[in-house]
């Protein structure tokens, strides 16, 4: 390898460019030399190598996520370790995250919000049937590809890192945005199940319709408190033109008590399909496609 050659992990994954860096990992576009394809590679930060139980969790969760084959789920291909860093290899999706789209466009309108929520619910339904709870459903983990598909990413990541986004609410540097999507039971540090994912999807649906999540504050702890104690402002007071049927779905998802929410993602998916069919008879609202140009794809 020359000094100018890009770094290669696991003897096969050539790092091409950095896409993003967060509190858990750095995301790269990479090239798989063995299969001649572009992939996304998530390199976890070095502190995880110090945990003697992490490798076993990574292996278990990566295998579980790799078994989720669905058009609305980002595929997991491989995992490994390079020096003091673990990495996960995933399907590369050319497009934008839902977070980027909302930041660029504001509220997406009922049709787009219902359509995106429908596809996320389909992804969650499959994962939940397989016994996998995401635990970190948020706009940053919902991708809209340039060819019009909605894909949920990072299944298993919350379990790999040991507790998910609620584990460090009081730690310095915790991002308020992540706390915005916690379920009340996550905020209390309690055990979670599939209904926690549905609450988080309710937050995302609310944000797509209103342009911002139902609970906002300057600190993660304050946001978490609101999830536990404060009722969300009704969508009729924060967003214009939201059909009552869609607003009712969002508010049911945001119930503090898990027993009062939808109990299965499949039930939610079916209700969203009914709403989508009704909306198709109304004038078109804003499309889901973002205003910015697609991200460039590097050559092989």
Domain assignment of residue 114, yes or no? yes
What is the rounded CA–CA span in Å between residue 222 and residue 215?
9
What is the rounded CA–CA span in Å between residue 233 and residue 217?
14
* Mean pLDDT, the chain, whole residue set: 87
**Is the domain of 75 the same as that of 103?**
no
Domain assignment of residue 136, yes or no? yes
Average pLDDT for 252-273: 98
Instruction: List, in order, residues 6 or more apart from 143 with CB less than 8 Å away.
Output: 74, 93, 95, 96, 97, 98, 150, 151, 152, 153
**Is the domain of 127 the same as that of 144?**
yes
CATH number at residue 81: 3.30.200.20
Look at the chain and report how many structural domains it folds into: 2
What is the rounded CA–CA span in Å between residue 253 and residue 263?
9
What is the rounded CA–CA span in Å between residue 76 and residue 67?
8
**Residue 73 carries which DSSP code?**
B
Q: 249: closest CA among 70, 114, 77?
A: 114
Residues spanned by the domain of 24: 8-91
Query: Is pLDDT larger for residue 297 or for residue 40?
Result: 40
**Is the domain of 259 the same as that of 184?**
yes
pLDDT, tens digit (0-9, with 9 covering 90-100), for 92-137: 999 999 999 999 999 999 999 999 999 999 999 999 999 999 999 9
**Is the domain of 85 the same as that of 102?**
no
**Is the domain of 102 the same as that of 222?**
yes
What is the rounded CA–CA span in Å between residue 108 and residue 284?
11
Cβ–Cβ < 8 Å for 143, 95: yes
What is the rounded CA–CA span in Å between residue 253 and residue 260?
8
Domain assignment of residue 226, yes or no? yes
Catalytic-labelled residue, pool 78, 136, 154, 197: 136
Q: What is the pLDDT of residue 37?
A: 97
**Angle at Cα 241 formed by Cα 235 and Cα 247, nearest 5°?**
35
Cβ–Cβ < 8 Å for 251, 235: yes
- Which neighbouring-strand residues pair with 82? 85
Choose the final residue of a domain: 64, 91, 118.
91
Domain assignment of residue 300, yes or no? no
Residue 83 exposure: Cα atoms within 13 Å on the Cβ side? 10
Domain assignment of residue 24, yes or no? yes
pLDDT, tens digit (0-9, with 9 covering 90-100), for 212-244: 999 999 888 999 999 999 999 999 899 989 999
Compute φ and ψ for 209, nearest 5 degrees. Answer: -85, -40
- Which neighbouring-strand residues pair with 20? 27
The verdict on whether 136 is a catalytic residue reads: yes
**Is the domain of 85 the same as that of 103?**
no
**Is the domain of 76 the same as that of 130?**
no
């Amino acid at each position: 390898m020359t000094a100018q050659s890009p770094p290669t992990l696991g003897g096969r994954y050539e790092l091409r460019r950095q896409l993003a860096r967060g509190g858990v990992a750095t995301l790269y576009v990479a090239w798989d030399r063995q299969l001649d394809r572009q992939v996304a590679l998530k390199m976890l930060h070095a502190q995880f190598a110090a945990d003697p139980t992490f490798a076993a969790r990574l292996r278990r969760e990566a295998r579980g996520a790799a078994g989720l084959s669905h058009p609305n789920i980002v595929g997991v291909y491989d995992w490994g370790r390079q020096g003091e860093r673990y990495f996960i290899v995933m399907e590369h999706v050319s497009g934008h995250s839902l977070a980027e789209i909302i930041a660029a466009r504001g509220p997406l309108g009922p049709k787009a919000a219902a359509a995106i929520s429908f596809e996320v619910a389909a992804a969650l339904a499959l994962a939940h049937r397989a016994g996998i709870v995401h635990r970190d459903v948020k706009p940053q983990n919902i991708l809209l590809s340039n060819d019009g598909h909605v894909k949920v990413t990072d299944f298993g990541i919350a379990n790999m890192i040991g507790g998910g986004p609620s584990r460090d609410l009081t730690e310095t540097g915790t991002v308020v945005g992540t706390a915005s999507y916690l379920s009340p039971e996550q905020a209390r540090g309690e055990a979670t199940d599939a209904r926690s994912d549905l609450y988080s999807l309710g937050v995302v649906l609310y944000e797509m319709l209103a342009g911002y999540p139902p609970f906002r504050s300057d600190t993660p702890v304050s946001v978490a408190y609101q999830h536990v104690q404060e009722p969300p402002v009704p969508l009729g007071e924060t967003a214009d033109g939201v059909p009552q049927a869609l607003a009712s779905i969002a508010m049911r998802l945001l119930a503090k008590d898990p027993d009062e929410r939808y109990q299965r993602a499949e039930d939610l998916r079916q209700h969203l399909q009914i709403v989508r069919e009704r909306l198709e008879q109304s004038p078109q609202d804003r499309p889901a496609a973002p205003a910015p140009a697609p991200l460039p794809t590097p050559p092989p």
